[in-house]
Amino acid sequence: MPPGGNLTTMSTVLSFLRCTPSLEQLEIGGTLQVGTIECPKVELRKLSFITLATMQFKNSALFRFIDYPPSLRMQFISHSPLATSDLPISDLAPVLTGSELGPHIETLSFSAMKNKRFSVLATGREGPLLEMSLFRMEGESQPLVKFSALVPCSSAHTLSIRGFSSVAWEDWAALFGRHEQVRELTAEQVDENFIRALLEPLQAGRPPFMQLRRLNLTGCDVNQTSIFLEQILEERRILGSPVDVVVLLDCGVTRDVVDHLRRYVDVEWDGCTVDDVLGDEVSRYVDYLSTASDSTEG
């Protein structure tokens, strides 16, 4: 939709699509005027990929009026900031829960780093199957995990989670339970609750990711969570499904903690200690002050 133009109605889009039954790819941008729609579904049985790039995810209501294959590959991109409380869960839930992409997902990543974008990428053997990139305002991570749970249950063997904080361990456990085939787990800047959720549930049952063989931790407070890590490694060894390798990068961990972990597993450690982490933080702060001073003088 060009700037200053009239809003295109959803009925107009559907009328156009009705004339393209062999359409294979569809890209929708801008904002659609929803209004009242009373019409039969548009059959697009050859549609294989759809992109929805918008400022209002209410446009996803369009999916209700399209009969498309359940294996449809999807991409959702937001162009305007969303408050965490305004994430389009109710808008996208019907679309994602009806998807049959799950068995084809091999790698899966969730990222909520400080660049103010929340992203999801699910990849299969032939490339991306599901992409979501939401431009969000600052806010808690808890709703983001609930939003992540909309991704279809998968057979992913590689899972990456980056930048979440202040999330209840029960919500982590619920998310983990949707992707049970994970063999390699990467976590960056997550807190204690994430690690706790890898333990056996309080009720009877097995811990998540029984096929887990490699655990990669980056920028995590391993000193604080080491007791839980040891419990996780011991528990899985007893259950006959041991973790083979734990990788520690930029975790500011003490050598004593690393030595304790090596009693259970092979540990690949970059040698980063608490002093290194503190030194980096001080150095960044000094650089910031220097830049600010130069800017003021200029």
Higher pLDDT, 224 or 92: 224
Q: Are residues 39 and 91 in the same domain?
A: no
Model pLDDT for residues 53-70, shown as the tens digit of each residue: 876 666 677 788 888 888
Residue 75 domain flag: no
The pLDDT score that the predictor gives to residue 283 is: 43
Q: Are residues 126 and 56 in the same domain?
A: no
Phi, psi of 254 (to 5 degrees): -85, 155
The pLDDT score that the predictor gives to residue 280 is: 46
Full domain range(s) for residue 251: 85-297
Q: Are strands 117-124 and 73-78 parallel, antiparallel or unpaired?
A: unpaired
How is residue 203 written in tokens? 């009720």
Can you list the positions of beta strands (E) in 200-295?
Answer: 214-218, 245-249, 266-269
The pLDDT score that the predictor gives to residue 282 is: 36
Which helix (H) or strand (E) covers residue 164, if one does? none
Q: Are residues 242 and 96 in the same domain?
A: yes
Residue that is last in its domain, among 18, 39, 69: 69
Residue that is last in its domain, among 69, 101, 128: 69
Residue that is last in its domain, among 34, 69, 104: 69
Task: Identify the CATH number of the domain in which residue 157 sits.
Answer: 3.80.10
- How many domains is the chain partitioned into structurally? 2
Q: Do residues 275 and 254 make contact, with C-beta atoms less than 8 angstroms apart?
A: no
Q: Are residues 175 and 205 in the same domain?
A: yes
Residue 80 domain flag: no
Residues 6+ apart with CB under 8 A from 133: 76, 77, 78, 117, 118, 119, 120
Residue 79 domain flag: no
Model pLDDT for residues 77-116, shown as the tens digit of each residue: 877 766 655 666 777 777 787 788 889 999 999 988 666 6
